[in-house]
Structure 1
Amino acid sequence: MPYFHNTKINRLKKNFVLCIACCLLLILSAVAVPLQPVKLTCEYLHNPLGIDTKIPRFNWTFTSTERNQLQSGYEIIVSDNLQQVQQGKGDAWSSGKIISSQSIQVEYAGKALQSFTKYYWRIRVANQQNETSNWSEINWFETAMLNTKDWTAKWISDGSKNPERDEDYYKEDQMPLLRKEFSTGKKISTARLYISGLGYYEAFLNGQKIGDHVLDPGFTTYKKEVLYSVYDITGMVKKGNNVTGIMLGSGWWNPLPLRIFGRFDLRKIQQTGRPCVMAEIQLTYADGTKQTIITDENWQTAPGPVIHNNVYLGEKYDARLEQKNWNSFNPEKATWKNAVLTAGPSGMVRAQMAPPIRITKIVQPVKIYEQGKDTFMVDMGQNFAGVARIKVKGTKGTKITMRYGEDVWKDGTLNFMTSVATQLKWPGAGGPGAPDIAWQEDGYILKGTGTETWQPQFTFHGFRYVEITGWPGKPTLADIEGLRMNSDLQQQGSFSCSNELFNQLHKVIQWTFLSNVFSVQSDCPAREKMGYGADMVVSSNAFIYNYGMANFYTKAVTDFA
């Protein structure tokens, strides 16, 4: 028994000593590292792919185990060699210790950056007692086209012309498809797509959509600036044969001659043109060699199934006109011809740094009711901006029409007057060929091959209710859903309190915010869609409290400059 007793005491002593040692280590580590940099960003983005500024800006915050800690200095290292940064070295920039409390918009001050290069960076900071933190986690940024001459791609189109008479713009106008086959023979290290497609584009590789952007690129003054996006397609490129495909829409680049508010014709007050695209695929192989595929007259083009599209009036899609395998292998070649070089916009082509528009939420309908013969009303239960997606099965040639509105009349019919484009509510107000009432409407014509799923690609609406006509049979709640779209702002602030009314009010305000950020800040996503400035003046503070707005508002300032 005495032996057992002594053994137990010895174990307790050892455990006690071990606990004391651990506590001392924690205390010492806290003293040694009172301040630690976290949440590093470059140009307000975490690990941005495709920046085109030659002097990027770094930002960070910090955490501490102690109170009342302030930054008194920092050190930044930057290199295109990961191992160097891991070792605490920076051959592109090694700032040395800089005495400063600055932790936002710290400008790069190293060697000239090179285009198409991935740079790694990290920082460490010192507190007011001159105690230095550990190095931060390693972050990176990748440059895109730092110089205009870096672009080797050309603007191309299908060669079609816009009509001479205003009224003819409202007729069917098949949007172009473009495709290019290319082959790879070696192991790929990285693959990037650089693309600007006007007015909007969707890009594909081997039949799969590239990225998750919608309504891309963002709206700008095209004679001054045009935006492009960068995608990492490394995992999508196959060894051997590949096919890239691009679908174009009109967007703001090819608007209708609709008289905005009965007065302004966008075709006369901004630079316009036929849908066109400039794109470049850059492949870097494991052995260091490179291959570039650019848009030029060797691409192929054919008319697509989008037969009409406009950001105000909506989109019409004829599934019978789909080109089989157009963005993969073995297309119906009889309909394809060479693309045509075109002038494109005159503005400077710049990387899109503002958050892209994405589908940020799926909204499920809460109610469907019949409203007269062959007409059904869908209540989404929530007002938002975006489009409706349908799943339908029927005979070839069946035409489905969807009209959108924010409210219904007392008899349950759609009150489309709440969301009429630019208040065009009487005959002749919109100009020759324009509808008497410019409501929001999408249309789909079935191809008749099983269950068909469709959503508009080149328009958006503000709505809660969807009026459906022409549906084969009766739609169910599972046949339709809402796709909320908005510039994908990152949530930065939150609000909650004990008063549920205030909580609900804050939720409504946030939904309203997100319905009005489609690369520009507007006051409504149906009637106006454009931003004239006052919207930001009255609500920017509220936006900034809720979301990371730095790049969005940087674009806004550039737009108005």
Structure 2
Amino acid sequence: MRWITAGTKTPFYTRKTIEITKEIREAYADVCGLGQFVFYINGKKVSDHELDPGWTDYRKYIEYVRFDVTNYLKAGTNAIGAEIANGWYIMDDHHYTFRFPEFMPPNPNPYVPFGKSLVFAMKLLIRYTDDTEETILSDDSFKVSEHPVQYSNVYGSELYDARREKKGWNTPAYDDHDWKNAVMADDVPDAELCEQFQPYIKVIHTYEGKQIHENVWDFGQNTSGMLEFGIQGKPGDMVYLYPAEKLDDQGNPDQMAKGWTLVDNVITYIIGSNEPEHYRGRFSYIAGRYIAVKTGSDAVITDMKLHAVTSAWKESGTFTSDDVRYNQIYDMIKKTVEANMVSVHTDCPTIERFAWQEPNHLMAPSIMFMKDGRKLWEKFLKDMRAAQHTSKDIFHDYAGNVIPAGDGLVPSQAPCYIPNVLPVPGMGSFYDIIPWGSSIILGTYWHYMFYGDVKIIEDNFDAGMK
């Protein structure tokens, strides 16, 4: 695959038209955009995926997504398009981003971007009924343009400027004469490329928002989801939407979490016209049950929805009881699991969104009874193998002293985007935690116990022995 870029750290569009003159037997597209992408052909989103590709340590391995696009292509002119945004590849810090609490020492090993600009790659293979085939690769003949999403934060904050929308940008008829040509990217990590194999993220339920008072909407359930709404106002009007898990004593959404950090996420929408407009999240998810809307104008919000998303949508078991309380507990845990499975297993969908490893053995049997964890745990374990340190890996303290990672150490998070390796006085290390890193062994054990596949032991034996 060949990587192209718009040379920007902010979201961008890319597109290209191709001509098809023969009858198609089948066609497949291998696609990746880092950090997140949405793929289109002839104006239609390809598949029901959300938040592709899965989060990984992009210096170790990168997942591409294979789409069957046979039914999306047609004879004549076809438009191929994609939207690319940040994710963890180049983390955006607008509004809320995780910061270590005051009881922890400053971190001299902060997040490091994986590249200089966001990137896209595609390989389209078309097989024709006359037994010939054609391969189309991303290159500098693709066109690129700025996106109405001016910034996209992995924790859910976003600025959407509808004045910058390009109607019909992903259709064959669109005139892209004023778009620039893409540039070949030269700084993408030399990592393993592999097809995304864990269950993709998708919408499992849509919660309709209920307006409980003037500027507050209630979805009835805490979840991780993609926000959608209709809006009408005057061009340039700005509307702010604040998600929260709970309400304060006055009935307003409260973004304070655990009493020590303000998760001040906000989606900012700038109205582009006098006509009714539509917004739907693409590149990140919000977490919570409530939305507070703030506007200094007469803008009107309608049809507020929250689309719950998860990788854990394959069911493997159910539970019912004559005691309604047990059913409620089961439903609560099930929804909690779903909200924390987004290609990695997070410990909470609001404050950190980090892939802490202890749930991958502590909760493995409970989750595997209710969800098909076969491919999910294969992904978690691959992330642990990718994160495992060698004797060559070092960190530094603020004085510049070398801190060896430790040969064979599996960190407490995998992938780990912000390695906090310094011990906390009186609390010890949050990076080198034996019960967390031991998931490389115990997670393997539970996978084998449930699915009986000896390959999971073969894949993780060497890492466990280290």
TM-score normalised by the shorter chain: which range applies?
0.7 to 0.9
Match of 1:278 among 108, 115, 121: 121
Change beyond 3 A, Cα 1:265–1:443: farther
**Whole-Å separation in 1 of the counterparts to 2:205 and 2:132:** 41
Change beyond 3 A, Cα 1:242–1:217: same
**Whole-Å separation in 2 of the counterparts to 1:463 and 1:360:** 16
Cα deviations by residue, 1:141-178 (Å, 9 ceiling, x for unpaired):
xxxxxxxxxxxx31110123x5xxxxxxxxxx4x2111
The CA deviation at 1:450 is 2.6
The CA deviation at 1:346 is 2.0
Where does 1:532-547 land on structure 2 (aligned, <5 Å)?
532-547=356-371
Which residue in 2 is equivalent to 1:452? 277
2:91 and 2:113 in contact (8 A); partners too: no
Which residue in 1 is equivalent to 2:305? 481
> Tell me, which stretches of 5 or more residues in structure 1 are unaligned?
1-152, 163-172, 371-375, 426-436
The CA deviation at 1:362 is 0.4
Which residue in 2 is equivalent to 1:501? 325
2:168 pairs with 1:337: no
Which residue in 1 is equivalent to 2:3? 155
Which residue in 1 is equivalent to 2:405? none
Give the residue type in structure 2 aligned to 1:546. Answer: M
The TM-score with structure 2 as length reference comes to 0.77
Change beyond 3 A, Cα 1:309–1:419: farther
The CA deviation at 1:342 is 0.8
Change beyond 3 A, Cα 1:419–1:345: farther
Cα deviations by residue, 1:74-101 (Å, 9 ceiling, x for unpaired):
xxxxxxxxxxxxxxxxxxxxxxxxxxxx
Which residue in 2 is equivalent to 1:369? 213
Change beyond 3 A, Cα 1:419–1:234: farther
**Whole-Å separation in 1 of the counterparts to 2:252 and 2:330:** 30
Give the residue type in structure 1 aligned to 2:196. Answer: Q
Change beyond 3 A, Cα 1:264–1:389: farther
The CA deviation at 1:260 is 3.4
Match of 1:468 among 289, 293, 296: 293
Match of 1:221 among 54, 57, 71: 57
The CA deviation at 1:489 is 2.7
**Whole-Å separation in 1 of the counterparts to 2:116 and 2:56:** 14
Which residue in 2 is equivalent to 1:71? none
The TM-score with structure 1 as length reference comes to 0.64
2:257 match: secondary structure = helix
Match of 2:266 among 431, 437, 441: 441
Give the residue type in structure 2 aligned to 1:465. Answer: Y
Where does 1:16-27 land on structure 2 (aligned, <5 Å)?
none
2:54 pairs with 1:211: no
The CA deviation at 1:379 is 1.1
Give the residue type in structure 1 aligned to 2:228. Answer: R
1:479 match: secondary structure = strand
**Whole-Å separation in 1 of the counterparts to 2:44 and 2:257:** 38
Where does 1:64-79 land on structure 2 (aligned, <5 Å)?
none
Which residue in 2 is equivalent to 1:526? 350
Match of 1:360 among 192, 204, 207: 204
Which residue in 2 is equivalent to 1:492? 316
Which residue in 2 is equivalent to 1:298? 141
Match of 2:233 among 394, 404, 407: 394
2:266 match: secondary structure = strand
The sequence identity of aligned pairs, in percent, is 26
Which residue in 1 is equivalent to 2:434? none
**Whole-Å separation in 2 of the counterparts to 1:248 and 1:383:** 28
1:393 and 1:472 in contact (8 A); partners too: no
The CA deviation at 1:281 is 1.0
**Whole-Å separation in 2 of the counterparts to 1:419 and 1:322:** 38
Which residue in 2 is equivalent to 1:351? 195
**Whole-Å separation in 2 of the counterparts to 1:297 and 1:264:** 40
Change beyond 3 A, Cα 1:471–1:358: farther
1:419 and 1:527 in contact (8 A); partners too: no
The CA deviation at 1:318 is 0.7
2:5 and 2:120 in contact (8 A); partners too: yes
Change beyond 3 A, Cα 1:184–1:548: same
2:237 and 2:299 in contact (8 A); partners too: no
1:333 match: secondary structure = coil
> Tell me, which stretches of 5 or more residues in structure 2 are unaligned?
386-466
1:229 and 1:351 in contact (8 A); partners too: yes
**Whole-Å separation in 2 of the counterparts to 1:308 and 1:269:** 18
1:405 and 1:418 in contact (8 A); partners too: no
**Whole-Å separation in 1 of the counterparts to 2:119 and 2:274:** 31
The CA deviation at 1:259 is 6.0
Let me know the Cα RMSD of the aligned residues.
2.1
Cα deviations by residue, 1:280-324 (Å, 9 ceiling, x for unpaired):
111111111111111011111111111010112511111110123
Cα deviations by residue, 1:110-150 (Å, 9 ceiling, x for unpaired):
xxxxxxxxxxxxxxxxxxxxxxxxxxxxxxxxxxxxxxxxx
1:260 match: secondary structure = coil
**Whole-Å separation in 1 of the counterparts to 2:134 and 2:310:** 35
**Whole-Å separation in 1 of the counterparts to 2:80 and 2:329:** 46
1:419 and 1:526 in contact (8 A); partners too: no
Cα deviations by residue, 1:493-519 (Å, 9 ceiling, x for unpaired):
000011011111111110111010011
2:218 match: secondary structure = strand
Change beyond 3 A, Cα 1:285–1:419: farther
1:407 and 1:418 in contact (8 A); partners too: no
Structure possessing the higher relative contact order (Cα contacts under 8 Å, 6 or more residues apart): 2
Match of 1:191 among 27, 31, 34: 27
Which residue in 2 is equivalent to 1:23? none
**Whole-Å separation in 2 of the counterparts to 1:245 and 1:227:** 19
2:385 pairs with 1:549: no
**Whole-Å separation in 1 of the counterparts to 2:263 and 2:257:** 11
**Whole-Å separation in 2 of the counterparts to 1:307 and 1:209:** 21
**Whole-Å separation in 2 of the counterparts to 1:219 and 1:405:** 24
1:557 match: secondary structure = helix
1:191 and 1:233 in contact (8 A); partners too: yes
Give the residue type in structure 2 aligned to 1:527. Answer: I
Where does 1:43-82 land on structure 2 (aligned, <5 Å)?
none
